[in-house]
């Protein structure tokens, strides 16, 4: 079984999602079912098959190294839940 309670708690921590203890068992069961479906891939022969990350075989385009963005700090920060003097406010990190 891939997803026991401990795996769910570990993964939720990696994903920075706080899962209430009361939900862990139900989430584990759902994730386990999804992973059971995914496990079928193990039986597909893929020796020597290349991996495909993207549909188009395009080169990453480059543009001249010239600044194109105007200063829109104020507009871009308007969605911040807490901001002051052009900075995002968060709880104190260093005592």
Partner 1 sequence: MDLSEASLRELRDALRSRRVSARELARFYLDRVAAHNPALNAFITITEAEALAAATAADGRLAAGEEGALLGIPMAHKDIFCTEGVRTTCASRMLEQFIAPYNATVVERLRAAGMVMLGKLNMDEFAMGSSNETSHFGAVRNPWDLQRVPGGSSGGSAAAVAARLVPAATGTDTGGSIRQPAALCGVTGIKPTYGRVSRYGMIAFASSLDQGGPLAKTAEDCALLLEAMAGHDPRDATSHPEAAGTFAATLDAPLKGLRVGVPEEFFGAGLDPEVAAAVEAGIRILAAQGAVIKPIHLSNNAHAVSTYYVLAPAEASSNLARFDGVRYTYRAAGVEDLTDLYQRSRYEGFGAEVRRRILIGTYVLSAGYYDAYYLKAQQVRSLIREDFRQAFAEVDVIVGPTTPTAAFALGDKAQDPVAMYLADIYTIAVNLAGIPAMSIPCGFTAGGLPIGMQLMGNYFTDGLLLNVAHRFQQETDWHRQRPALASAKG
Q: Applying CB under 8 A, which residues contact partner 1?
A: 2-3, 7-8, 11-20, 27, 30-31, 33-35, 37-42, 44, 46, 49-56, 58, 60-61, 63, 72, 75-76, 78-82, 88, 90-93
CB of 67: closest distance to partner 1 in angstroms? 15
Give exposure, 64-74, as e/b (b: 16+ Cβ within 10 Å).
eeeeeeeeeee
The C-alpha atoms of residue 74 and residue 86 are separated, in whole angstroms, by: 7
CB of 6 to partner 1, least distance (A): 12
Q: By C-beta, is 72 or 84 nearer to partner 1?
A: 72
Q: For the packed helices 5-14 and 21-39, what is the interaxial angle rounded to 10 degrees?
A: 90
C-beta of 44: minimal distance to partner 1 in Å?
5
Longest alpha-carbon distance in the chain: 57
């Amino acid at each position: 079984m891939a997803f026991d309670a401990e795996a769910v708690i570990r993964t939720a921590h990696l994903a920075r999602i706080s899962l209430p203890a009361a939900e862990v068992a139900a989430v584990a069961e759902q994730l386990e079912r999804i992973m059971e479906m995914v496990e079928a891939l193990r039986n597909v022969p893929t020796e020597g098959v290349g991996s495909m990350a993207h549909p188009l075989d395009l080169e990453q385009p480059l543009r001249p190294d010239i600044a194109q963005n105007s200063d829109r700090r104020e507009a871009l920060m308007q969605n911040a839940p807490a901001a002051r003097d052009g900075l995002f406010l968060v709880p104190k990190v260093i005592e």
